[in-house]
Structure 1
Amino acid sequence: MRVTLLGTGDTTGTPTVGCDCETCQLARERDVERTRFSVHVENERTGESLLIDFSPDFRYQFLRDDVPLPDAGIVTHVHFDHLDGLGNAFRVFDSLDIYAADETDPETGKSVAETVADDYHYLRTISVQPTTPLETVRICGLDVTLVPVDHLPLVCYGVAIEDPETGAKLSITGDTSYDVPEKSREVLDDPDLLLADAIVPAHLCSSHPIGGRHEGPDGVPRTFGTKHMTREGALTLADELDASQTRLVHVAHFYPANEAFEAPLAIDGEAYVLE
């Protein structure tokens, strides 16, 4: 299983348009970036590939990293930075299955699958496959499970992907606070690679209107506001999930420049082979 991090940034990416903060300037100087979130997973046994989330930077990411176009895709939730790249399916694909959760969102009155089907009704090439969370489905020769996470007010899902032949496992937390349900943690547990949402370091919680949440025994918040993990929260979750390797994603340009490009924070273009 080959995993390529096409997009490792939050909703504005790094560098952020119109921003001259030290972090964005340093990203330009180093010629590194974090575009909007997307992960490419290639099953090298079958020659098929799966895309997790459709970044608005879809076209640029695929041209830059020269990975195969996906044979199927997953949409974790309906925020624009994870969904709006699906419009690139126009004239690019002959057909494309899109897997998305079938649970009704109390906020919208529709499931993620229904929202995708409604918003992209004009794309004759896509076929939305409503998928029940916590039930494993075979996609591109890989065992894929959507797991509910905590990204209120909308429903959102993490993803566990396992190769049934090699046992290699990728877990993606999705956009979430530290309050990931126990059943979801059980599915995400023991990955070879964990991609964990870590939008900012915990010390920036003081700048959020409602601060931080889910403080650890040391008083350090593991959630920034209500919807995303801090770096410290993501690393705590990684330890609890017994991840062999962890990369932090959905990273904002608010990280101070001297912290913004330090491990384990990911940047675009990183690739991992899980065996």
Structure 2
Amino acid sequence: MRVTLLGTGDTAGTPRPGCDCDTCLAARERDVERTRSSVHVVNEETGEVLLIDTSPDFRQQFLREDVALPDAAVVTHIHFDHLDGLGNVYRLLDHLPVYAADETDPVTEESVAESIDRKYDYLDTVSVQPREPLQSFRVCGFDVTLVPVVHPPLLTYGVVVEHPETGAKLALTGDTNYQIPEESRERLRDADLLLADGIVPASLCEYHPLGGRHENEEGVPRTFGTKHMTLEGALDLADELDARQRRVVHVAHRYPPEQAFEEPLAVDGETFDL
């Protein structure tokens, strides 16, 4: 299993257009970036490609990394930075099955699968494949599971990708706060690589209108507001889940420049062989 991080940034990415903060300036000077969320996973036994989330930066990401187009995609939730690149498949692919949860969201009154089907009903290329959360399904030769996480107000899912022959395991928390349900934590456990949402350091919680929550034993917030984990939350989760490697993704430009581009914070283009 070869994993390429196509997009590791938050909704606006880094560097942000029009932003001259020290971190965005450093990103431009170093020629590094964090585009919107997407992960490219190759089954090296079959050559098939699974794409997790379809970033609005789809075209740029695939050209930049020179990777193969997907044979199938999984979408975690309907926020635009994880979904709206799906329109890029028009004229690039003859067919793209898109897997998403079939659980009805009380806010939208649709499942993620139904929302995608409605929004992209004009694309004959896209074939939406509803799947039940916590039930494994086979795609691209992988066993894939959608795991419920907590990203209010919408239903949102993490993803577990396992190779049935090699035992390699990739786990993504998706966009979530620290209060991930126990059953989902069990599915995310013991990954060879965990990609965990950590939008900002916990020190910035004091600037959020809702502050921070889900503090650790030292009183450090592991959730920023209500929707995302802090860096400290992401790393505590990785420790709890016994991840062998970890990268923090969905990273905002608000990290100080001396920290912003160092491990465990991910940057676009990183690759992992699991």
Coarse TM-score class (shorter-chain normalised): over 0.9
Deviations 1:127-172 (A, max 9, x none): 0000100000001000000000000000000000000000000000
Partner SS, residue 259 of structure 2: coil
Letter in 2 for 1:45: E
TM score, norm. by length of structure 2: 1.00
5+ residue gaps in structure 1? none
Residue 258 (structure 1) shift: 1.6
Within a 5 Å distance, the mapping from 1:79-98 to structure 2 comes to 79-98=79-98
Residue 206 of structure 1 corresponds to 206
Letter in 1 for 2:215: E
Distance 2:125 2:38 in 1: 20
Distance 2:21 2:10 in 1: 16
2:251 is the counterpart of 1:251: yes
Residue 78 of structure 2 corresponds to 78
Residue 157 of structure 1 corresponds to 157
Within a 5 Å distance, the mapping from 1:1-20 to structure 2 comes to 1-20=1-20
Letter in 2 for 1:255: Y
Residue 263 (structure 1) shift: 1.0
Distance 2:258 2:40 in 1: 29
Letter in 1 for 2:227: K
Deviations 1:44-92 (A, max 9, x none): 1001010000000000000000111000001100000000000001111
5+ residue gaps in structure 2? none
Residue 42 of structure 1 corresponds to 42
Q: CA RMSD in A?
A: 0.4
Residue 115 of structure 2 corresponds to 115
Distance 1:47 1:32 in 2: 28
Letter in 1 for 2:23: T
Residue 174 of structure 1 corresponds to 174
Sequence identity (%)? 71
More deviation, 254-263/229-238: 254-263
Deviations 1:83-116 (A, max 9, x none): 0000001111100100000000000000000000
Distance 2:204 2:125 in 1: 43
Partner SS, residue 155 of structure 1: strand
Distance 2:43 2:236 in 1: 29
Residue 194 of structure 1 corresponds to 194
2:125 is the counterpart of 1:130: no
Residue 101 of structure 1 corresponds to 101
2:220 is the counterpart of 1:220: yes
Residue 139 of structure 1 corresponds to 139
